[in-house]
Structures are given as structure tokens and as C-alpha cells.
Chain A
């Protein structure tokens, strides 16, 4: 459980970080953020990066800032920063509610929001939030900057479109209007474990009817995503038990569930039904 030898680089500025990253990326260089996923993988020697670009001292990546329409979260912002609402309104409350489901307290003190997105675990709560709310990834390298929509960012289990010399410098989440309702639910076998399935729903009510419904499902497929069939089932309806059941059913039918040695696809589908239903129940 000792990692293979590596060189650790500790850049202080963003430019410096991008420069080192572009230098070492071809030579199996990797970014080290909170280390809560990377370090265990290195300890098991499942990854043996020759270089680590430690971004924990890079200036200008610590911000959580709102410009009135978007909330920007820098690459050094830790999960624990969201324990209390970071912004007024439903988004702050949503992030605070979800954050408590990530891992355990010590891990939340180190792990970063952007690190979770880059790591792209299918069960990551932040990946689910980003996919459901339509986050924008701000990606930088010595080659320049590009903006990537969440829907285009995740490529599969622990895989994203990030090139090896690219840093996810910040993520932007759209603020939610004051009348947005949200609900979240996840199922894991123990408190703090990666969820076996999770769901996040948001919507507004106009004249008693659901509009702008978003239904995101995590942990069930290679990447979290919005489920159009479930959103269609919700939009235009009044919230209530029957419609929640129908929406959960639609989500369960729509997913192509992951299977592993502990979990059949059929059971995962059952969990999707359960978590979507409960997220909806929690939304009212």
C-alpha cells in the first residue's frame, strides 16, 4: 500500500500550473487536488503517475462566487465548503443538502468539487448535480480555455473529455430561481458509501403545475444524466403521489443500469425507481 515513486510539483500560480502540467502530462503526470480518490488508487498501485501537479497552493482557484446568474466554484473548493449554504436561495440549500451525503467528514474536508467532476465516479453527488442543473466546465491549458457543458463532459465510468494537459479550473452552476423546488435522495448500504443510485429533481410550479422539470439520476449508469422520459412525465402535471410514481417508473424504465458482482441490473433499476420517487417526495 505504498505508492510507486513520483515527483511532486507545487506550482503557485495558474500559469505555472498549466505549464508544468503540459510539460509532465505526456510523461504520465496528473493533477493532485484533494487526493481522496487519487491517493488510494496510487496506494493500491492501480495508478502509478510519474508526476503529480499539486494544485493546493495555486492562487486564484479558491473562489466560490456568484455573478447573479451563475455560481462559480474554483478547483480548490472542498466539499466541506458547502456544509452551509454558499449562496442565498434554492441552489445554496440544495448544495448544502447534497454535500452531507458525500463520503465522511474527514474526506469532505479534503476532497474538491472539481476533483469529483474530473474523477467522474458514476455515483458522485457533484457529478449528478452538475449534470442535472446543466453546469459549465471551465477548462484551461497552455493551449487556452474551453467551456464544456456537463452533458458533453462525462464520457463514462471515471472518464471525461478532459485532455491530459487540461485543468478543470472552475465549474459554473446556474443559480436557481427563488421558486425552484428540489428534492434529492440516494441509497447506499452504509452511511457515507458511494450511492448505489441517487436522484436529484428540480422544478417550478406555475398555476399549480410543474414546469422546467429536471430529473437527474446518478450511480445507475456510467455517468449521471437527466432522464427526459421522467421529465416529460412531470411537466404539466400537479405534484402528487400518482404522478411521482409514474415519474419514478418512467425513470426506472429509461435507464440502462450498471451491473457488478454485488448488484444486478434489475435491482439497480428497482433502486432508480425508489430514489426518484423519494427525491420527488422530498421536493414538496
Chain B
């Protein structure tokens, strides 16, 4: 019998293994989880942007039948504020958020009290009866205004992020010309289909506190909540179910997560909290709100000699788990794919009386790419060359890789591991039919249409370490891969299975990827920063390889042959060249300890995918509306484990990028009152507003930092969309530099066309 030929899974667009329950309505999202006897928690939120709490009268609420308890700040005074997970500068610590406001409220939506009741209806009735008297204080609503007083001796500017390399003074002194711009990105954020939710439950018999509805970083959250509540980490366990979208904002520790856990412990009752949409839009992390004042020193050909950037990051009312992450990334990633001999940045972290901010898909990069690419366009206009040509002149050459930028972020040195930026630009322009497109646009403009096209380029980061551990086990039903990463719906069960399948020699649909369960694996880093496929993927490949070696070694003994004469194909240990075989699970059963292996992949450097977006738009001069006519994305991610899932990541990211560029904006009035609190005011793009896109995935620059050459793919669809659309609108108006602010609403655009 000849040995069956081995199938390769990595690189194939295989169907998602996780889809069946989702498509058949069997998903288990946070709201689907209930326990007998559970209480409902309702949060009573501040209706005032900034003020002093004078009194909270809970008597009427407590008197309502079905109400079990009410907590205010005094009831949770022993719980410390929520600590930082990333980029936690010391100077930011006094600005951490308490789980319930004490004395002062700092944004509309801030939790002031919580009601525990028999069901959501009673809980909301009771919440309405809680009488909070707040003496209003002046609200700070703009981060570019002079800093004010946060508290006693604390300023609303806790810190300024400063980074630099090269001789910036010399660059400007020797410059042929200087280009200066002021640019802003509006406040918007990830708005997952599933709102947040958490169910706390205390198992008295085992003395285990459980939280269901975990997402993104279950292990860190478990450890942190254990610490906040003064419990041993092993007596707290987090369980992730299905997660209806993460985007950076979901799965961080928010006050509500701590409250359900504290309440479950205190009342010995399961406590369930499900966020409603109005709450979501004022309580979950906002993002992106930045204004940059940037200058470039250039030579006569438009080559960049130096970039000097000052920006103002509106972090809202508190520093949440991400601390300085977003402004730090904006500062560090701004140079992008271009040769910048000298760079200096000052990023002002500013607190305002708005919803606190955190990371959102391509955090800091959506903003800095917009700014940098606007700058490149302005340089092109200044020296009178085409916007594509100006990029070619400034791109980092392939030969310069790996390229040390001379900056740090997220505790790593930025070293672009590999890349051929010019090649991807060529390929993407070809895919867009750029030259023909230019001719068509010229003809249409000659007939009076406002049409235009543009390119934007970017470098992404992905695969943040420091480690991931994976255990692979042979079970009677197949293979279990147990990991401490999490699924936010991105397809990890499939992708990790594909990697494991190849490394081990089993069918990918016999593999079960178990994630987000703190009781199944002791540590894990979770899902963020486009890290899962890279870090967990490589750890999986290593662990599966180890398991394979182990299996072959044991099988060689049982099958009385040399391990090198054996292979594993479709879950069977086979003899190369044919002969009797043995299923892996039988081998496992024959061994006293079964068959499993664990390995850890450690990495101190991130890996850097890069991309090009091409947008073509038409502007309606009568209304200021923008129609996206063509959208082409080129993205090099080293190695696409499942190209269709990568396309899905990119297309979904693009929808969010388009939202931030044209539609989505959290607006506030002068008093700090949020104006975008429903889906009627906060405009998400729908299928009608998101363009069909052409997605070109390339593998020209595999990462040298892992065996498969992987780079992450989660954020390149969103990253430069604002930049590309802004430039395409400029081109349609034939007015370089017209767009200085996102989102480009029809009203703002109409004002530009009339002005």
C-alpha cells in the first residue's frame, strides 16, 4: 500500500471551523449565559460631564419590590482603581478610573451607582429612582486648549511623550523648504455588534470566583481582578464564550467587569450585566481623537530631511487599561515606510470630560498614517511632483531591511523585519489599473465631474510578544490545541488548526482549538495587536512539531522500526513507502501518560506588515456627499495562512476605516454633553456605504522572525483608509491639502466646495 500523499493546509482558503454554531444560532455570547438565581446589575451613570457629587439618594430604589441592593462609591471604596495593562507610565497613575465615582464625576456615562435587581426591567425602574445631585464644574472638552486642573495638584496634561532620532535642528536648518500642517482625526471607536457583558459567579464549594463573558485578554484580566479583589489568582477563573467583535475596545477591564465579580462574591449570587447600546456609546472606550501639528523639512526634490511633530491626544476623563498606548504608538509609528533621517515628536496626553479612550483597530496608526500621508501629499504639492512619485522618492529600499527605526514602542525596539515597499506599490497600482484610471478621471473631470484618486502607504506592526504557550494533546476524538490566546471572531480556531495540521500531520478539521479558558492553561497573552496568528501560530507549530517527534519516537518502538522511517499522515502514523499504520489516538492510548507536548514561542520584536491603499471617489458638489467608486488594497503579510480569512480581516477593517473617514464621530457640546448616543447619531457604515474592494495579498517579504514567515493581518484594512480617502477627495476637488480633518462629513465638504 503506497503512503497517502500529504495535504498542506497552510496557505489554503479553507472553510472556518468555528462557523457551524454561529450560523445555526447556537452561539453563546455573553447575553446567552445565565445561571439559576442570578441577579441583574444596572449601572446608574452620570448625566453631568464634570461635577461634584453632593448626594445620592437610593431609598426609593431600595424600596421597589424586586430590588436586592444598591451600591455607590462608598460600597466599593476598598477596591483600587483599574490598573494599566500596557504602556503604564507612572505619571498616569493618579488618573486611573475608580469602579464607581467618588466625590467627582468626570464624564457623562461615568458609573456612579449600581442596582442589583431580579430582572432588567426592575433594575431600570430602580435606576430611574436613584436621585443624584451633582454640582456642575466647568467641563474641559478640547484637548488642544491649554491644560487645566484635573484635581488638587494634577494637571489635565499628565505627560508628554517625547521621542526622537537624528539631528532635527540641522534638518530644518538645511532644508530647501518646510511644509507645515495642522490635521485632526475625529473621536470614533470600535462598535462591535455584541455589546459588552459580564456574568460574575461565585462557586462556594470550590471557592472559585468565575467571570463569564471574558474576551481578548482573559488571563491578564483574571490576574488583575483577583488582585483588585484580594484573591489568589487560582481562585478566580475567566471563561470566554463567543465574542461578537473586539476591535481593541472589547475585553479590557472596565468598571462593570469588576463590579459583577465583587457583587458575586459579596452577595453569593450570580450577577449578570449586559450593556445596552446607549451605554456602549458613552461607556466603552472611545479612540482616535488627535490633533497633530506637523512640519517636514525637505530638499529640492521633496526628499524628507526631518519631521517634527507635536500632537494632542484627547484621552477623555480617565486613563484606562491602555494608559499611554495609543499616543505612544502614534508617536512611534508615524515615520511609516519612508526614510526619515531626523525625527522628533511631542505627544501631549490630555484629559478631557469625555468618555475615556483606549485602543481601536490600528490604534495610533489610523491617526499617524492620516497625518503622515497628508504630509507626503503636501510635500508633493510643494515641489510639484506627482503624489505617487513623491512616495517612490522617499520609500525605504528593500536593501535597507531589516531597518532599525531608532524608536521604541510597547517595550520593543522598532525594527522593520522585512519589506519591499516599492514592489508592493507597483503591484497595487497595477491591480488598480492606475494609469487607465488617471485617464478616465481626467476625461470625467473635463466634463465637470468631481472625481479623483489617491494612494496611501503604511507600515503596520503585529505579533507582539513576549510569548505564547501552546499545549497539543492527542484525544480520542482528535487533537486539542490549548492556548491562552482569545477569539474575537477572527478565525483563530481555523488558522491555528491549519498550522497544527501541517506540523503534526493530521486533518485540520480534527483539531479543536481551546482558547480563552483560564482553567485550561496557566498563562496566556490573549488577542490584540494582530498577535495571535504570529505568536500562537509559531508556538503551535513548535508544540505540534515536538508532539510529532514524540509520537514518532514512541511509534518506532511499538512498530519496531526507526523513527526516520515513519511519517504522520491524516492522523495515522505510517511507514514511508507503505505498510501497516497506526492511528495517533491508538498510540496515545498505548502510552501511560498519553500523548501531548507543550512549547513556548518567545519574541522580543514585533513583525511589520505593510500595505498600499488606492481609493477613487466622486464628490457631489450639490450635497457634499462622497461616493467611493473604486478601492484597492495591497497588503504584504509575509505568509497568509488562510487567504480568505485575511481578506475578511482587510475588508472588515476597511469598513471601519471608511466609517472613521466619512461617517462615525462622537460629538460633544460645549458642556461635555455627548451628542452621539444612538445609532441615529453615531453613523456606522452599512453595506451600502462600504465599497466593494479588490484585495491583493502578497507574500514578498516573509518575516525572518518566525519559521512560517508570518505577519499579522488584522489592522491593515483600517489603517490608511482615512488617509487614502482624504487624498482622493483632494484630487476630486483638485485642491491639494483641502482635507485637514476626519471625518469628512457632507456638510464640511460642501463648505470646502463652496469656499
Contact = CB atoms under 8 A, between A and B. Distances in A.
A242 B685 CA distance: 36
5 contacts: A4-B124, A5-B121, A44-B278, A189-B625, A262-B745
Contact of A1 (B278, B624, B685, B747): B278
A57 B663 CA distance: 40
Nearest to A260: B675
Interface residues of B, number: 30
B747 A264 contact: yes
B746 A5 contact: no
Interface in A232-284: 261-264, 267, 270-271, 273-274, 277-278
B622 interface: yes
B688 A190 contact: yes
Contacts of A267: 624, 746-747, 750-751
B668 to A, nearest CB: 9
A190 B128 CA distance: 34
B683 interface: yes
Given A189-B746, A190-B683, 7 more contacts: A2-B120, A4-B128, A5-B121, A44-B678, A189-B625, A190-B688, A194-B680
A189 B688 CA distance: 11
B686 interface: yes
Contacts, number: 64
Nearest to A44: B278
Given A4-B125, A45-B128, A190 B622 contact: no
A191 interface: yes
B689 A191 contact: yes
Nearest to A1: B276
Could you tell me the dominant secondary structure of chain B's interface residues?
loop
A267 B278 CA distance: 28
Contact of A187 (B278, B623, B680): B623
B558 to A, nearest CB: 61
B688 A270 contact: no
Contacts of A261: 667, 669, 675
Interface in A191-211: 191-194
Contacts of A189: 625, 663, 683, 745-746
Given A189-B683, A274-B622, A262 B278 contact: no
Closest 3 CB pairs of A and B: A274-B622, A191-B688, A1-B276
B277 interface: yes
B277 A1 contact: yes
B623 A2 contact: no
Interface string B251-281: 0000000000000000000000000111000
Interface string B677-691: 010110101101100
Contact of A274 (B120, B128, B278, B623): B623
B662 to A, nearest CB: 8
Contact of A263 (B124, B663, B747): B747
Interface in A1-52: 1-2, 4-5, 44-45
Interface string B734-755: 0000000000011100110010
Contacts of B689: 190-191
Contacts of A190: 663, 683, 685-686, 688-689
Nearest to A264: B747
Contacts of B686: 190-192
A191 B663 CA distance: 12
Contact of A277 (B278, B622, B625, B745): B622
B663 A262 contact: no
Contacts of B667: 261-262
A43 to B, nearest CB: 8
Nearest to B688: A191
Contacts of A193: 680, 683
